[in-house]
Chains A and B, each alone.
Chain A
Amino acid sequence: MSTLELLVFLPLLAALAVGLGAPARFTALGASVLVLLISFYCALNFSTVLEGNGSWQFASSRTLLEMPGFPKLSLAFGLDGISLVLVLLSALVLVAAVWVAPVESAIKGSSRLYYVSLLLIGGGALGAFTATDLFFLYAFHELALIPTFLMIGIFGHGEQRVRTAWTITIFLGVGSLILLVGLILAVGALDSTSFDVATLTALAKSTPIAANLQGWIFLLLFIGFGILVSLFPFHSWAAPAYAEAPTPVAMLHAGVLKKFGLYGLIRLALPLAPAGAEKWLHLVLILLLGNILYIGLVTIAQKKLDRMLGYSSVMHMGYAFLGIAAGNVVGVSGAVLLMFAHGLSIALLFGLAGWMRDRFGGLEFDKLGGIAKSLPKLGLLFGFAAFASVGLPGFANFAAEVEVFFGAFAGEDAGMSWIRWATVGALWGVVISAVYMLRAYRTIFMGPKPEKLETPSDLDWGARVPLLILLVALLAVGFAPDLLNQFIRPAVNGLFLVTAQ
């Protein structure tokens, strides 16, 4: 068994073991810590010299199906700098999510199913980010989605949870189908003999798909992947789903699984249909401004913390789209870094919000107030998380946003192009996110405490450690973004070597 096979199948096997009767929490936590160690091992032994879609490291492949006339199907894994960063993200969030799982105190009775689902989501995400075969890349993502839906429907908060579960199921199902059509079109047009991503991108470079068809393929992939990333106006599944999902599921989906759509755009849509990306640039810019400005304002109007965080997560995806729309090394590197940063910070915020919901019984702004005085540790940690999300220097989010903005502004001509105008619009989003975050912090943590509000005892070490892991990672990458850029840059560079005309 290769390293990556171990990485992907460890959580899945652990899920099986829990299903068969192994101690649920112990097994789940053990498996996810091992996954984290394996991902560190990969990072430490990663060569930063190799470039491109196809210079997979730790690669392994098993041919599963080979029929004359059909593309070859193989269970193949491999890492490049982009997927390595996402593997690190998945592993970090998985550990934190499994660790904070008991925060949903209502779920104790069914903990077996609960932990199985978390492990399946984690394993599915790891598989999707490491699979180098199109089929499995897609299938692993679906594998992770199913338990997400179920968890929301079964263990979600609030009366609407079944409805919410169906909403997200249908949305993401439709998104997956649209992008599937796009992928089938692309594979068909390239006339490939395998589903290997590297082969496909190499073909797309040597014999590009007709420009017109590229336009259609990119549009389908953009909308399909976009729905998975809560692209405006296909975002309305996201905030209710995150607000109602059990805390670790919200952490895993908003933090990790959602990034699959962005990953797909970078890994597949840009290399396979670069002309299409150029063709639809204006549409992309308009929709991403919808994410940043329109959703940003909607976020301001929220009255509950979990909803607000849900919308903020939708909003921040706009920056990732902007980096991808930039279509150059700086912008796309920024988008990858943003996936990592946003994933950690939103998981951290949902983790804290989940703890608060459990202790206070609700997250309505008008019922909370002034709790930093009696809960200083919570106040401090939430303050860090809030400032990370706002994009303060020192956190990875800032570095990522800087790269995105510089990437989107780059270019030889000294005038204001469309994307530069869009960047200026996106910059205003930085003000908007400060408005809702600081307002929320002001309302919940500062000022006098309402007399009726009873405060629980502060975060203990057990509750803090998983969240501190996320925070330390955010700070480390914020202080030294090149920790990850050293991996991202060659991979993105290679992406453009392959796709550049």
Chain B
Amino acid sequence: MDPNTLAWTVLLLPLLVAAAILLGLKRWSELSALLSTGSALLALIFCILLAGGGESAVETKSYPWIDLGRDLEIAIGFKIDGLSRGMMLIVSSIGFLVHLFSLGYMKDDKGKSRYFAGLSLFLFSMTGIVLANNFAMMFIFWELVGVSSYILIGHWYEKASAADAAKKAFLVNRIGDFGFMAGILLVWVLTGSIYFDEIAKAVGGVANAQLLNIAVICVFCGAVGKSAQVPLHVWLPDAMEGPTPVSALIHAATMVAAGVFMLARVAFLVEAAELAAHVIAWTGAITALLAALMALQQNDIKRILAYSTLSQLGYMVMAQGIGHGGSDAGMFHLYTHAFFKALLFLGSGAVIYACHHEQDIWKMGGLKRKLPITFWTFALGTAALIAVPFTSGFWSKEAILEAALHQKMTGPYVLAMIVAFLTPFYMTRLVIVAFFGKARTKDADHAHEVGPVMWIPLAVLAVMAVLSAYSFVSGPLLARGHADVGHLFGHIGPTAILSLVGLVLGVGAAVYFYKGRDKDPICIPLFRDKFKIDEFYLVLVRVFQDAVARGLKFADRFVIDPLVVRFPAMTALAAGSVFRVFNVGNVQTYAYLFGLAAVAVVLYLVL
């Protein structure tokens, strides 16, 4: 098949499946699940075929969505190059594995059809973001992934916490999207286009550098929301209320990386706006650090992973602001991270499933013997995350640090180095507490290994967690137009020695503090309470939104209303006694007379 057909099929197939489930298949939940999984497999195959096209950009047909002549023309069209090919492979391969895993994990769920429809809707939306050749189309699908995320976080909507988390995720993302939309409009005004290729051509000629910086920062706001960067990071930990496979696919591997992908897509804009690039690098570095600190003191297995996701996303975003190959390094890390983080989440899902939905690591313990496959795959994922040498995560993280140092981004570099120590610490803590020692509860004691439909995806991802960075895997998978992954891989500079020291110290300290413990010996309330940022926002919303809203409601009723309504109304009532019309007599007659009178008045006035 030609790339055009392939791309359109990959995009529309999941939408068709979601629609079919919604419109009638939902009664047969088995069928819905299999159909959705089958379409994910097909999408994966098509993405592999699409990637076979190599590095060259391809022309595809686009669909005119809004066509107002030369004034505004927005099309649904594709940009198929190395970047989008690689990203599609990540999305579709992890998407398929998560579908497969979900067949087991959601086996007895009452809302199984709705769940799989949500997954298919997600695949549709994410594909749209990745393939988009213009900002408007990206924004369309950007919003749609938001909805599929809302649906999936709120899958168990009867639970108040899940319902709140879904709402929070959507609203926080909308705040980012407010900036994103403003940024798109500004870029449009400055460069005269919403199409990436045309913007790239025109960006050099933009005279108003100040406004360009503002525009890029606004666009970046979208990434801050979607990729959960400080200060809009608060939705992602709560999003763990969703089913765990969803956390793996959407809130770890793919959707949250969309912000990073978007920045890589418009790397030429970031490069043209120096101030904005600095803002991006610092935001990423600060997020990486703060999230790692928060992760130190969490006890919920999924929340620890969520904060580590935030932290790693911080790395990737930081890389986008570095310039000079930083963008490629960030995409490289996005790619390796997608595999090992999806693995860790699915592994935690297997643990949670085996322990009868227990998520507190202090209520686990000794799972190493009970869940050997889960443990070993989880350990490999952890190794990649904490950047043990020769795992994929090591190469990609080094690439980012290397680029930061090369570009003399000292501040972000130092923060990133601290994170390189913190990450091994909190991950080792998690592994020791959950998998080693004795079982601390009955559930943990009775846990037994999950079935093959769940451990096969774990095994596949574990292989990828270790090997994905090596060029014999990443070469064909990650054929990038301008990025030479092989160049990034295998380049060990002075930073590698520093991060090795961080790794050894982190693991060593965690072993020292947590080996054989039954409760947390360290208590840092500030980290445990996530710097009280959520509480701060709650006050902000209550005071600056809800209180103001109530005040305005009051004002509307007692100031505006009397001023423009009651006074004239009273005058009119005093003037006439037509009031009775509504209460007595033959209403039809009155209505008729009223109508005639109105027409007569009009006639009199006009003629």
Chain A positions within 8 Å of B, measured between CB atoms, are 19, 70, 73, 113, 116, 135, 138-139, 142-143, 146-147, 150, 153-154, 162, 165-167, 170-171, 174, 180, 184, 233-234, 236-237, 294, 297-302, 328-330, 333, 370, 372-373, 387, 392-394, 398-399, 402-403, 405-407, 409-411, 414-416, 420, 423-424, 427-428, 430-431, 434-435, 438-439, 441-442, 445-449, 480-482, 485, 489, 493
Contact = CB atoms under 8 A, between A and B. Distances in A.
10 contacts: A142-B595, A142-B602, A166-B572, A166-B573, A372-B157, A403-B66, A403-B68, A409-B189, A414-B189, A482-B67
B158 interface: yes
B587 A402 contact: no
Contacts of B598: 142, 146
Interface string B181-194: 11001001110000
Contacts of B573: 166
B40 to A, nearest CB: 21
Contact of B588 (A113, A297, A415, A447): A113
Contact of A446 (B69, B158, B595): B158
Contacts of A485: 66-68
Interface string B559-595: 0110111001100110000010111000110010011
Contacts of B568: 170, 174
Contacts, number: 196
A138 B605 CA distance: 12
Nearest to B180: A427
Describe B's contact surface by its main secondary structure. helix
B160 interface: yes
A328 B68 CA distance: 11
Contacts of B72: 330, 403, 406-407, 410
Contacts of A300: 545-546, 549
Contact of B71 (A154, A236, A330): A330
A480 B75 CA distance: 11
A485 B64 CA distance: 12
Contacts of A299: 549
B67 to A, nearest CB: 5
Contacts of B548: 297
Can you list the 5 inter-chain pairs with the closest CB atoms, starting with the nearest?
A: A446-B163, A301-B553, A301-B549, A393-B140, A297-B549
Given A142-B599, A409-B188, 10 more contacts: A19-B588, A150-B587, A298-B556, A301-B552, A329-B71, A398-B143, A402-B136, A441-B167, A446-B163, A482-B67
A301 B557 CA distance: 12
A297 B178 contact: no
Nearest to B69: A489
Contacts of A171: 565
A299 B208 CA distance: 38
Nearest to A337: B66
B181 A439 contact: no
B182 A448 contact: no
B28 interface: no
Given A19-B588, A233-B564, A442 B549 contact: no
Contact of A415 (B69, B208, B552): B208
A298 B67 contact: no
B550 interface: yes
Size class of the B contact interface (CB-based, 8 Å): 35 or more
Interface residue SS majority, chain A? helix
Nearest to B151: A383
B57 interface: no
Nearest to A290: B560
B71 A410 contact: yes
Interface centre among B160, B553, B605 (most CB of A within 10 A): B553
Contacts of B144: 392-394
A446 B241 CA distance: 14
Contacts of B300: none
Nearest to B177: A430
Contact of A236 (B69, B556, B582): B556
A445 B160 CA distance: 11
B7 to A, nearest CB: 18
Interface in B53-73: 64-69, 71-72
Nearest to B22: A380
Contacts of B190: 414
B74 interface: yes
Contacts of A162: 579, 582-583
Interface in B137-155: 139-141, 143-144, 147, 154
Contacts of B208: 414-415
Given A399-B66, A402-B74, A167 B569 contact: yes
B67 A431 contact: no
B163 A329 contact: no
Given A113-B587, A143-B595, A405 B181 contact: yes
A255 to B, nearest CB: 22
A438 B167 contact: yes
Contacts of B553: 297-298, 301-302
A265 to B, nearest CB: 20
Given A328-B71, A406-B185, A415-B211, A448 B160 contact: yes
A482 B588 contact: no
A447 B144 CA distance: 23
B170 interface: yes
A275 B552 CA distance: 34
Most-contacted residue by chain B among A113, A300, A302, A489 (CB, 10 A): A300
Interface centre among B147, B157, B206, B569 (most CB of A within 10 A): B157
Contacts of B69: 329, 489, 493
